[in-house]
Structure 1
């Protein structure tokens, strides 16, 4: 392999449009700077070219995400994500309140919900209500507080139980303030239309009320628990499982019923959450693989640095790949004469 071919192989890491415009010029400059008799790129040149390729891809993804369709998608994502996080945080506090109203003085007894759970749920509800209008920057500022609480909760769970089983809510929570901070031509309410707002409100009410309905009415007292690692996290009764599934399906319907341009971007924005969900609930703990978890007296051990690196980089890289594929798919073809 000649020196020019080696440089061209390194430049293949750059975006295609960038190579089309600058590749020959860059190879010429690199060859002019090479020492006589040099047969391979220096370590400095390799690092500089790979760093430049990374920066070029970041700029390209940023440029693609700056169009109005992506900006509006981020507003909708912020609204839906805030509602989903509210549902997750509020189910047990609402159940606790319902039991108190139904004559149970201690509510859930030993499982009574602490103050922070109420605080997190209320903050996410406020974020969703503010995000539904055009006050996205205000919602983003409030979401920072809620996202911080979610991250702290994950850190505490990891320290106590050595598990990252529920890492996906922290990832979704961290995305909310970033998404809402992006200025868009229209508010989330204007983008999703009124009937979808009603669908989201119904999904929220059904999901939040599911444990309360099943417990207060004793509907699940004689039914076996349904264990759903992906959906329910822990075993729930059959009636509660049906109500939760209905709520989740309504959330999915609200997303899938949006116009194609918005729907594709919403699904792309959810890729980091989906990848995290797969990594933490399917691959982590798989025996005989890179994601196998060590155990100590039956307690899961801490993740290795390589596993943590995978958890951080894999969602970001797959999101960038998804954006590139979507851009390539929507790019207009050559005009016919």
Structure 2
């Protein structure tokens, strides 16, 4: 391989638009600086070219996400994610409050507790309210505390049971401060319109109240709890499962009712969460693969470095792929979004 070919191979790491504009000029400069008879680039040149490629891709990504539609989508994602995490944290405390209000016969004793779910619910509710109030930076700052809360909960579960079944809230929570830190051209109220905000509020109430409503329904002792992975929780009865499903569908319908450009960006933004859900709830239980987890005496073994690497890298890489596909789809000359 000639020196010219090596330089062209290294420059292939740069974004296509950058190569189209600067590739020939850069190769000419590099060849002019090369020593007579040199056949391989120096380590310094390789390092400089690869570092430049990384910086070029970062600038390109920053330029893509600076588009108003991406910023609008980030604000909407921050609101919906905060509401979903509020639902997840508030369901049990609300159930306990309902039991207390109805003077539940067998008391709730040690099971009655507003901690720690109440703290998480309060944090995410404040984030949602601040987002709607157009206080995005304050919401992002509070969301950092929410991320820490979710990390602690997952770390405790992993330390006790070596489980990562519910690691998806950490991924969703981590996206909120990043999304809300972007300065959007419009408030989330203007982006979604009031009727969608009202619909999101209704979905939140339905989902949070799902376990409480089950207290008012007759209990069928012969019916076993539902442990479906799609419920995002476990051990719910049928009435609660129906209400949770209704709440999830309302959230989904709000997203699907937005404009095509906004909807596609929202779907791209939730790719990391979806990938994490698939890996932790399906992939880690797949026999015959490196994701398969063994157990001893009913306790799962700790994840290997390969499994942890997959959990970290797969959501990031597939998110980048989703963004690239969307960008390619919307480029001039392709079908319009």
> Cα distance, 1:304 vs. partner?
2.0
Q: Write the distance in 2 (CA, Å) between the matches of 1:315 and 1:304.
A: 18
> Cα distance, 1:218 vs. partner?
3.2
Q: Write the distance in 1 (CA, Å) between the matches of 2:182 and 2:8.
A: 37
> Cα distance, 1:268 vs. partner?
1.1
> Cα distance, 1:238 vs. partner?
1.2
Please identify, of 293-302 and 238-247, the stretch whose mean Cα deviation from structure 2 is larger: 293-302
Report the counterpart of residue 199 of structure 1 in structure 2.
199
Report the counterpart of residue 330 of structure 1 in structure 2.
330
Query: Residues 76-95 of structure 1 correspond to what in structure 2 (within 5 A)?
Result: 76-95=76-95
Pair 220,168 (structure 1): closer, same or farther in 2 beyond 3 Å: farther
Give me the CA root mean square deviation: 2.0
Query: Residues 101-120 of structure 1 correspond to what in structure 2 (within 5 A)?
Result: 101-104=101-104, 108-120=108-120
Report the 3-state secondary structure (helix = DSSP H, G, I; strand = E; otherwise coil) of the residue aligned with 1:115.
coil
Report the counterpart of residue 75 of structure 2 in structure 1.
75
Report the 3-state secondary structure (helix = DSSP H, G, I; strand = E; otherwise coil) of the residue aligned with 2:230.
coil
Report the counterpart of residue 27 of structure 1 in structure 2.
27
Report the counterpart of residue 133 of structure 1 in structure 2.
133
Report the counterpart of residue 302 of structure 1 in structure 2.
302
**Structure 2: which 5+ residue stretches go unaligned?**
none
> Cα distance, 1:272 vs. partner?
1.2
Contact persistence 1:232–1:241 (CA under 8 A): no
Alpha-carbon displacement from aligned partner over 1:221-274 (angstroms, at most 9, x marks no partner): 443322211324313211111111111000000111111111111111111111
Report the counterpart of residue 149 of structure 1 in structure 2.
149
**Structure 1: which 5+ residue stretches go unaligned?**
none
Pair 264,211 (structure 1): closer, same or farther in 2 beyond 3 Å: same
The number of aligned residues is 334
> Cα distance, 1:36 vs. partner?
4.0
Q: Write the distance in 1 (CA, Å) between the matches of 2:46 and 2:107.
A: 63
Please identify, of 37-46 and 24-33, the stretch whose mean Cα deviation from structure 2 is larger: 37-46
> Cα distance, 1:45 vs. partner?
4.1
Please identify, of 166-175 and 136-145, the stretch whose mean Cα deviation from structure 2 is larger: 136-145
Alpha-carbon displacement from aligned partner over 1:1-40 (angstroms, at most 9, x marks no partner): 3222222122222110011112112222333344444434
Report the counterpart of residue 208 of structure 2 in structure 1.
208
> Cα distance, 1:198 vs. partner?
1.3
TM-score by length of 2: 0.92
Q: Write the distance in 2 (CA, Å) between the matches of 1:139 and 1:4.
A: 51
Q: Write the distance in 2 (CA, Å) between the matches of 1:5 and 1:246.
A: 58
Report the counterpart of residue 239 of structure 1 in structure 2.
239
Pair 101,188 (structure 1): closer, same or farther in 2 beyond 3 Å: same
